[in-house]
Homo-oligomer: A and B are copies of this chain.
Amino acid sequence: MTAHKTTQLDASRLARLPREVAMDDDAEASALKMGELSDLLGYSLKRAQLKVFEDFLRCVSSLQLTPAQFSVLLLMEKNPGRNQTEIANTLGILRPNFVAMLDGLESRELCMRVRSAHDRRSHNLMLTDKGRATLARAKKLIATKHEARLNEVLGPANRAALLEMLATIARDF
């Protein structure tokens, strides 16, 4: 039951990330004091997440894909033939909410629902050729624009460390 909680060792200091350089926090009028907010992990987590999703949308805007849609296509590619419940559960999407989402992707001919022969209740999900092509283009845009930008801002080692810590929180917290 959620083992290992105390497996951290050292954590030598990371890259020198710039801090309070510009001080133009809020532009014009005397910026407000953030107080303990600066130390609230959840607050920074939320603000960072919004920025990252915003940039994601910009980077793949030509393909009209949201982060959620991208994650669904990716999962279909890596796990062809899985049903709606399996894909939705893996992504933390509730089954009722997954229906409209799939309708959208299917109407754009990016994926297909195929009634299973073994269990006629379930739909085997799979990408269409167009879906595979769109996903491939999305991956390229994300790698060369989106994640590359994050590497610029953080540095590759920091980016990797950040990813690992976030995965740890998502898994063990």
Please list the residues of chain A having a beta carbon within 8 angstroms of any beta carbon in chain B.
3-19, 21-22, 26, 29, 31-53, 55-56, 67, 71, 74-75, 77-79, 82, 86-87, 89-90, 92, 139, 142, 146-147, 149-150, 152-170, 172-173
Contacts and interface: CB of A to CB of B under 8 A. Distances in A.
Given A11-B157, A26-B89, A56 B44 contact: no
**Oligomeric state, in number of copies?**
2
Provide the main secondary structure of the chain A interface.
Answer: helix
Contacts of A155: 8-9, 11
Given A40-B142, A52-B173, 18 more contacts: A7-B17, A8-B16, A8-B153, A8-B155, A9-B155, A11-B157, A14-B161, A17-B164, A19-B164, A32-B86, A34-B78, A35-B74, A37-B75, A41-B159, A42-B49, A45-B166, A46-B53, A55-B173
